[in-house]
Amino acid sequence: MKYEIQGTPFPAVDVYLENGQSVVCQSGAMVWQDPNVQMQTNSNGGFGKMLGRLVTGESLFQNTYTAQGGAGSITFSSSMPGNIIPFEIAPGDVVIAQKTAFLASDQSVNFELYFQKRISSGFFGGEGFIMQKFTGNGTLLLEAYGSVIEKVLQPGQVQIIDTGYLVAMDADCSVEVQTIKGVTNVLFGGEGLFNTKVTAPPDRPATIWLQTMPIYNLAAEIYKYIPHTSN
């Protein structure tokens, strides 16, 4: 799938389709398109896939856009200030992503639920016990908030991450919760009770993708400037 990402801080991605080629997207992601690109709304995998998307915060139904009668283009936009991250998934590749990260993909990219091995990592780690797992063969487009930092961890390397800042990672990484030590640190440090600990596999490097402005941080900053009235 050919595409071009442009714009900041609300990025958009132009997807260029050959005749008969299709792209799948999150409901409501389309912002403009050529007239020969036709939309079909469907469950994209049946009830099981719909339930999986519901659990991860995505829309129940997805839209499939297909170029008919010639090549055509369609543009999708990010829902919040941030970045669009492209992945070229080959057979055998696995990308694990946070909930609500999916924007669009080739039809040949598969979506599944991904459960953290450690339940405590989901309850307290901020990234969630349930994440999204993408496999298949094609282009995957994820959205992240703020700027995106890509880091390559060496075999066995550990990265401590504040909760909510992990966007995606290689599947072989392990995730667990690390409690912040010290009463003073917890009460006055402003970092909460927990951090997320991501460890690369012992036998190979692994990549993680981090975002600089999780959505709830942005919401908290905006909330400060909203006038509040008491009843």
Distance between CA atoms of 199 and 175, rounded to whole angstroms? 7
Instruction: Tell me the pLDDT band of 105, cut-offs 50, 70 and 90.
Output: very high
| Residue 184 burial class via C-beta count within 10 angstroms: exposed 0-12, middle 13-18, buried 19 and up | exposed
Cβ atoms 104, 24 nearer than 8 A: yes
Per-residue pLDDT tens digits for 60-86: 678 999 999 999 999 999 888 899 999
Evaluate the CA torsion angle 145, 149, 152, 156 in order and state its sign: negative
Across the range 85-108, mean pLDDT stands at: 93
Place of tokens 């993680």: 208
Q: What is the pLDDT of residues 1-50, one digit of tens each?
A: 999 999 988 999 999 999 999 999 988 899 999 999 999 998 766 555 55
What is the C-alpha to C-alpha distance for residues 148 and 212, in angstroms, rounded to an integer? 7
Domains and CATH numbers, the chain: 2-223 (3.60.160.10)
- Which 8-state DSSP code applies to residue 181? P
Greatest Cα pair distance in the chain: 66
Q: Taking the CA of residue 121 as centre, how many other CA atoms within 13 Å lie in the half-sphere pointing to its CB?
A: 20
**What values do phi and psi take at 180, rounded to 5?**
-70, 130
The CB density around residue 69, as the number of other CB atoms within 10 Å, is 11
